[in-house]
């Protein structure tokens, strides 16, 4: 008999804790989830640069500020988020409640 079962368990990816950051808008501390996958990276959802393509700094934004930005700062949203597919993704996140939970 081989110990296939044990070996398979060992193949499971390690659980990576969230990256703790501060929101650049409200200064709240929050965690960014590790998404893994092909990119082996933390979620880009909370990266300001991901949405705006602003390369300066490495600003992080929490879910509630991101939701507020989308819902209540529409003018700024259109100015900042120029990439049409990112606009779609962000509005999808806002509409389906993805930004209301952590
Ligand atoms: Zn915030």
User: What string of pLDDT tens digits covers the 102 residues of the chain?
Assistant: 555 555 566 677 678 999 999 999 999 999 999 988 888 899 999 999 999 998 888 899 999 999 999 999 999 999 999 999 999 999 999 999 989 865
pTM of the model: 0.81
What's the number of domains the chain is made of?
1
60 CA to middle of ligand 1, Å? 8
Residue 42 belongs to a domain: yes
Q: Where are the beta strands (DSSP E) in 24-93?
A: 29-32, 34-36, 41-42
Q: Is residue 11 a part of any domain in this protein?
A: no
Q: How far is the CA of 3 from the centre of ligand 1 (A)?
A: 48
Looking at the domain assignment, is residue 74 inside a domain? yes
In what helix (H) or strand (E) does residue 94 lie, and over which residues does it extend? helix 84-95
Is residue 102 in some structural domain? no
Query: 69: CA distance to ligand 1 center in Å?
Result: 10
39 falls within a domain: yes
């Amino acid at each position: 008999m081989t110990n296939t079962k044990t070996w398979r368990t060992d193949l499971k990816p390690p659980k990576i804790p969230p990256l703790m950051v501060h929101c650049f808008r409200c200064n709240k501390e929050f965690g960014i989830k590790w998404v893994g996958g092909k990119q082996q990276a933390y979620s880009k959802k909370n990266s300001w640069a991901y949405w705006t393509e602003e390369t300066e700094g490495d600003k992080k934004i929490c879910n509630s500020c991101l939701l507020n930005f989308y819902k209540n700062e529409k003018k700024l949203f259109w100015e900042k988020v120029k990439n049409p597919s990112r606009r779609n993704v962000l509005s999808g996140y806002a509409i389906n409640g993805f930004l209301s939970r952590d």
